[in-house]
Every structure is written in structure tokens, then in C-alpha cells.
Structure 1
Amino acid sequence: MDRLDAMRLFARIVELGSFTAAADDLNLPRATVTHTIKRLEARLGAQLLQRTTRRVRATREGEAYYSHCVRLLADLDAVEADFRQEAVQPRGRLRVDLPTPMARLWLIPTLPAFFARYPLLELDIGTGDHFVDLVREGVDCVLRVGTLPDSGLVGRRVGTLDQVTMASAAYVRQHGVPRVLADLQNGHYAVNWASPTTHRVEPLEFMQGRKRREVMLPGRVTVSGVDAYRACCEAGLGIAQFPRYRVADAFANGQLKEILPSMPPPSLPLTVLYPPHRQMPARLRVFVDWLVEVMPKQL
């Protein structure tokens, strides 16, 4: 019997005034009760109970120990009750980090329905595409786009994002519209994207059937931020590739033109990442489930 069980047993003996009554109440053999109390007294180095022919009473040391037991066991019961209640109705604050446009366009508009379902939850939302150390920064989960390095985190696929190759209307007027990949080598430029983590310039990617083709073009400018990447493309500085949702407005108003639509860039996975847990907190579980539920409807 562990210490908490021994404390609970001792408290019941004091409250019922009987080894036998406590044994019956906790469904324990009488021998187990006697042996447990002897070991408890030996470990504490004090006599806790006085036994008479009619009743068991606590000694002065036993009364002091009983007071501690009652307080500790009540605190433990309250903690366990909170966790049981959270499993039924999750509660508490959750820290999440999301790509800025995805949060603004897709997730935040769904939050009234989320809070209606989980009224005891609170969200602390950070936005951006920068690296987040979840454990060190105390972030519960992040939503990220693209192929991710092995980080030791748990990843759950939320969906995939279609990509497009774009250039501004001014760029197309100056440089023409490429019809095949080979045309890109004839006087075309890219807005070069440098990975924020590796700082390596990434090539443009195209799918020809099931084959992935990479094309590295000269570029007048290199960026590592998504807003600057789009701004450079809109300014006519080169060809760039985006998840379709990020440039849908500029495409609709004619500011950006789609290039080589028959050979789109490969789709990007959309993944929610969170630290491994032996027992996943209910507040995190329901939020991840919510992402899996609502995000595919937006894609």
C-alpha cells in the first residue's frame, strides 16, 4: 500500500474509531489494515493510535498527523476532481502560434463557434512564421505549412494547400508569359525565397505529371518574410510561388497573373505540432480536433 492509501486508511480509522470498521469501509482485510498502520508508525517514528478493548483513539501525535492527512487528501481530491471535470468540459488557457494570414482569414472567424462549444477555454494566440521553441516558450501547439524537419514534436496533418506560380501584370508586360519550363531561362527573374531556418535560397518547384522539377532563376532580391515576398512579386521584381489562398485577392483583381497553371508547384502539407504527452491535456486535444475539423473546410 502506498503512502497516500496508508494516509487515507489512517484517517478512516480515526474517523470510525475502529480497525474493523475501517477495513469494512475500504474493503480491506483486517490483517492488511493492522500491518499498514504498524509500518506507518515505524516510518514516522511515532505512535499514532491508542487501542483499547472498545475503541481506537488518536494520540496527540496521531491527531496532528490526522489534521495533515485530512488537508492533503482534500487537496488531492480537489485536484483530481478538477481533472475529471476538465475531461468532461475542458477549461484553462491554451497558447497557440499560427501563420498570420491563416489566423486572420480562416481560424479566427471560427472562434465564436469554438468558444460556444468550449466556454471554459481561453486562447492566447501568437501569429507569425518564425521558429517557436514550444517547450522553452510555453506554447501548447503551432500550425505550420510545408515539409517540417524532425523536431521530436508530435505532428497531426490538418490538410494540404494548393500552390500557384504568380507574377505581376507589370512583370508579364515586360518579360512575357512563359509557356513551358524552358521559357523561364530566357530573361526571367524570381523573387528568391531564403528559408528562415536554413537561410538557403529555395528553387521554384513545378509538377510535370508526377515528377517534381526544380528551377533556379536569377533574382534581384532575396527575402525570408512572407509579406515581403508577396510585396516584391506585386512590385514586378520577379516570379514567386504562394499557397493559393494568400494571393487569391490579388489574382481576383488582376494585380497578379498565374504562370504555368498546367504545372503547378507541389501542394504543401498543413500540420499542427505539439510536444509529446503521456496523457494529452483535454484543452489541447479539443483544440487540435477543432483544427482538424474546420481547416479542411477552408482549403
Structure 2
Amino acid sequence: MDQIGAMKAFVRVVQTGSFSAAAREQSSTQATISKKVAALESLLGAKLLTRSSRELSLTEVGAVYFENCVAIIAELDEAQAQVRSQQASPKGILRVAAPVVFGCQFIAPILGEFLIRYPEIKVDLMLSDKHVDLVAEGVDLAIRAKQLEDSSLVARHLFDNPLITVASPEYLKRFTQPKEPQELRAHNCIVYSMLKSVNIWHFEQAKGGGDKISVPVGGNCRCDNGEAILQLALDGVGIAQLPTWMVDKHINQGKLQRMMPNYLSHPLPFNAIYPQSRYVPLKVRCFIDYLKQCLAEEPCYY
């Protein structure tokens, strides 16, 4: 029995949520993957997975074993990567998770050139505004618009992008334009529901020297996607706080108007996040370096 192969199959079954998905990924069959997991259970003398017609779930013992398998496989991958980096170009599947808008506007346009530059890398780009567990879901690298909160992860800073408070001319025809942050309390504000402090917007005076201002805001609509919030603002639903790169074009076209130019919101940090390890896989390092290089060529992102 190939125990390491069986462990890898087990891990991918858990991470993908099904035997068939793991089989497709490994160019195998569902029956073969099922036999590997069954052989592993037989070797251990313990049931790892509870199977039903609709879903799989880890047993208590299986959950502990899964975490150990992930750690062991990571160590093996690290050892192999160290050897390969000394004599070969980066290769393998690179799983990248990113917010939807960032992925569409920043990553997708530069991905073609990256794949040409590194022909032995295959990119699995996963776009979602939901929080991704890198280890559990087998993700090599995630782009997050927030400060690092997990000490088991490493963050490489990409850029800081200030948020701009905007509204459409149509909205401002119906309501008095706010001049001070506290006036936002009386307005319909469209909030991004994925932030930790959803209904709190933070400001400081543009010229500096003033106190930081935190304003509780609210309205009749909240959303977990920046592109949708942008569209709602363009449609005159309310006031939104969005990154510069999302709204600059619409401001220049007169479709949106910046509110309170004398006040700046706190910059939104964009970081590349990856699991902490003694050795960072070459494919991960190459992608981060390439992404930073491309962003540096676009000064509007800083």
C-alpha cells in the first residue's frame, strides 16, 4: 500500500468535499480514490469519514488525522520544493484565492503573461469574497484586503489603497451632500458586510493633525461584494466607501462624486497571504514577485 498516496487522496477528498472531485483532480476514478481511503481506514483500524448520499463529514478521529496528514504532506512538499528550486524552474498547480473584483481587475489581466513566463505552472484561480481557510482548502496563496490576523500565516504587503466615500449625482439631488463625517448618520449608506466592523466608517483629516473619527453608518442595503456595491452607488441607492481603483473612472466620467474631500478614510491594505513554513514554494514566490512588479507599474494603485 502506498500510504503517502492514500493520505494525499484522503486530504483532497476532505478539501474538495467529494471522492469524484478528488478523482478528477488526480486523473483517477472515484472507485480508486475510495479504495485508497478505505485501505487507509483499514490500516489505522478507524473510520475517518462518514458517508451519506449527499455529503461527507469527518469523524472525530478523522478530523485529528486530517490535520496531521496536512502537516506531513506539507513537510514532504517543502522538502521536494527545496530540491527542485536548486535545479529547476517553478512548476506545479498554484492555487490562488482572491476577492472577486481584485481578481478580475488585477490578476486576470496579467495572468496570461505569467503563464507564458512560467510554462510549468498551472494556476487554479478561485475568486470569492468569502474567507478562505488556506490549509483546509489546499490554497497556496490568498489575496486579502485586511491586516493579518492569523499568526500561522505570513503576509507580504502588496499596496495600500485608500477608500473614497462616493455617491451618484442622482442621489445628491435628493439629499443634502454631507460636509462632515458625522453627517453620514443621516444618510443611506451601503455597507460592505464582509468587514469585521461592518457599520463603522473611519476618517481622519486630509491635512493631518486631527483626531481620527469613527462614524456608525447604516442604510437599507448591505452587500458582500464590492462590484455590486459600486453598481448600487451608481444607481443612486446611497453613499458607498470603495477603493480608489474601483471608482476613479466613474468619478472622471461624472457618474460618481467624491464626498468630503477634506477627510481621508483609512487605507485598505492588500496583502498576499500564505501558510507559514520554513521554505516558501518557488511557485508562490514567483507569483508574488510578479504581482508586485505589475502593481508597481500602475502608480494609481498606490
Q: Same fold (TM over 0.5)?
A: yes
The answer to whether structure 1 residue 203 and structure 2 residue 200 are counterparts is yes
CA distance in structure 2 between the partners assigned to 1:120 and 1:161 by the alignment: 33
By how many angstroms is 1:82 displaced? 9.8
Unmatched segments (≥5 aa) in structure 1 = 1-78
Residue of structure 1 in register with 2:242 after alignment? 242
By how many angstroms is 1:289 displaced? 1.7
Identity score, percent: 30
CA distance in structure 1 between the partners assigned to 2:148 and 2:268 by the alignment: 10
CA distance in structure 2 between the partners assigned to 1:248 and 1:189 by the alignment: 22
Describe the superposition over 1:85-139 as per-residue Cα deviations: whole angstroms up to 9, x where unpaired. 6754111111101222222222222223323332211111111221111111111
Residue of structure 2 in register with 1:213 after alignment? 213
CA distance in structure 1 between the partners assigned to 2:104 and 2:91 by the alignment: 24
Describe the superposition over 1:262-295 as per-residue Cα deviations: whole angstroms up to 9, x where unpaired. 2121111110000112222111121122222222
**Alpha carbons of structure 1 residues 220 and 284: separation in structure 2 relative to 1, 3 Å:** same
Residue of structure 1 in register with 2:273 after alignment? 273
CA distance in structure 2 between the partners assigned to 1:115 and 1:87 by the alignment: 20
SS at match of 1:264: strand
Alignment of 1:92-103 (within 5 A): 92-103=92-103
Aligned residue type for 1:142: A
CA distance in structure 1 between the partners assigned to 2:246 and 2:268 by the alignment: 13
CA distance in structure 2 between the partners assigned to 1:286 and 1:163 by the alignment: 29
**Alpha carbons of structure 1 residues 192 and 88: separation in structure 2 relative to 1, 3 Å:** same
Contact kept in structure 1, 2:101 and 2:226, CA below 8 Å: no
Residues paired across the two proteins, number:
218
Describe the superposition over 1:181-237 as per-residue Cα deviations: whole angstroms up to 9, x where unpaired. 35435x4221233336x5x53312212125321112341223333233223322323
Contact kept in structure 2, 1:195 and 1:202, CA below 8 Å: no
Aligned residue type for 1:271: N
By how many angstroms is 1:145 displaced? 0.9
CA distance in structure 2 between the partners assigned to 1:268 and 1:99 by the alignment: 13
Residue of structure 1 in register with 2:193 after alignment? 194
Bigger radius of gyration among the two: 1
Contact kept in structure 2, 1:87 and 1:282, CA below 8 Å: no
CA-based RMSD of the aligned residues comes to 2.5
Describe the superposition over 1:53-72 as per-residue Cα deviations: whole angstroms up to 9, x where unpaired. xxxxxxxxxxxxxxxxxxxx
TM-score by length of 2: 0.65
Alignment of 1:137-286 (within 5 A): 137-185=137-185, 187-195=186-194, 198=196, 201-208=198-205, 209-210=208-209, 211-286=211-286
CA distance in structure 2 between the partners assigned to 1:236 and 1:80 by the alignment: 55
By how many angstroms is 1:243 displaced? 0.4
SS at match of 1:150: coil
Unmatched segments (≥5 aa) in structure 2 = 1-78
SS at match of 1:207: strand
Aligned residue type for 2:96: V
CA distance in structure 2 between the partners assigned to 1:189 and 1:218 by the alignment: 6
CA distance in structure 2 between the partners assigned to 1:184 and 1:82 by the alignment: 54
